[in-house]
A = this chain, B = another copy of it.
Amino acid sequence: MDQMQAIIANLSKHITPSQEAQNYFLSLLEQKEFARKEYLLREDQACRYFSFVVDGTFRAYHLNKEGKETTIMFAISDWWITDMPSFLHNKPAKVNIQALDHSIVLQISKTNLDRLLEMQPVFEKYIRILMQNAYTREQIRVLENLSLPASERYQNFLKKYPQIASQITQKQLASYLGITPEFLSTIRKQFTQGRIS
């Protein structure tokens, strides 16, 4: 029951559901395991699940027509991940979500999430806070992508997500920052040599 403890701890940060509401929520979850490099979601599929990472690491990336790979987001334990536009509107996903390690998730389908919100509206607050945090994070990212040099975005990433930084390759990080691996390597050397502080 460790998996359930992990998601209950996440819930408890934001809401205090009744035992009945909590049990109902838990009854709607499906546990799934992914081997390293296995896909939770493939581009062009409809994304059926909103997934809570109990253990492991995921990377969501988009492959454009020219074959250029762009990292959209990462998720580590205690984070939720999905292709939100696809999940909400049953449209083809724009991202691939791949496990970077052996990973365990708890998933809720769109149908079950709708049911949960209808039957136990206390979960509206929980989802509202998740969405609010996600929106805030993306708004800051848009602002930083458009206004900060890559070296500062790199620094901010390390400060905000030290746990993620330690689990991904430099190539993946470069593609998240929207720069080439070569340029990231130059930035890292500048830091090491103390030329940027």
Instruction: Report which A residues bind B (CB closer than 8 A).
Output: 62, 64, 68, 70, 72, 84-85, 88, 94-95, 117, 121-122, 124-125, 127-128, 131-132, 134-136, 138-143, 145-148, 178
* Contact residue among B117, B121, B134, B178 (Cβ-Cβ distance under 8 Å from A146): B178
Using A128-B128, A142-B138 as known contacts, say yes or no to A147 and B62 having CB atoms under 8 A apart. yes
Contacts of A147 in B (CB 8 A): 62, 64, 68, 70
Report the minimum CB–CB distance from A117 to chain B (whole Å). 7
Report the minimum CB–CB distance from A194 to chain B (whole Å). 21
Copies of this chain in its oligomeric complex: 2
- Which one of A68, A88, A121, A131 has the greatest number of beta carbons of chain B within 10 Å? A131
Q: How far is the CA of A178 from the CA of B147 in the complex (A)?
A: 9
Do A136 and B85 have beta carbons less than 8 Å apart?
Answer: yes
* Contact residue among B64, B85, B127, B178 (Cβ-Cβ distance under 8 Å from A139): B85
Contacts of A62 in B (CB 8 A): 143, 146-147
Contacts of A146 in B (CB 8 A): 62, 70, 72, 145, 178
Do A128 and B124 have beta carbons less than 8 Å apart?
Answer: yes
A-B contact pairs, 17 of them (CB 8 A): A70-B143, A70-B146, A84-B136, A94-B140, A121-B122, A127-B128, A128-B128, A131-B131, A131-B135, A134-B139, A135-B135, A138-B139, A138-B141, A138-B142, A141-B142, A145-B145, A146-B178
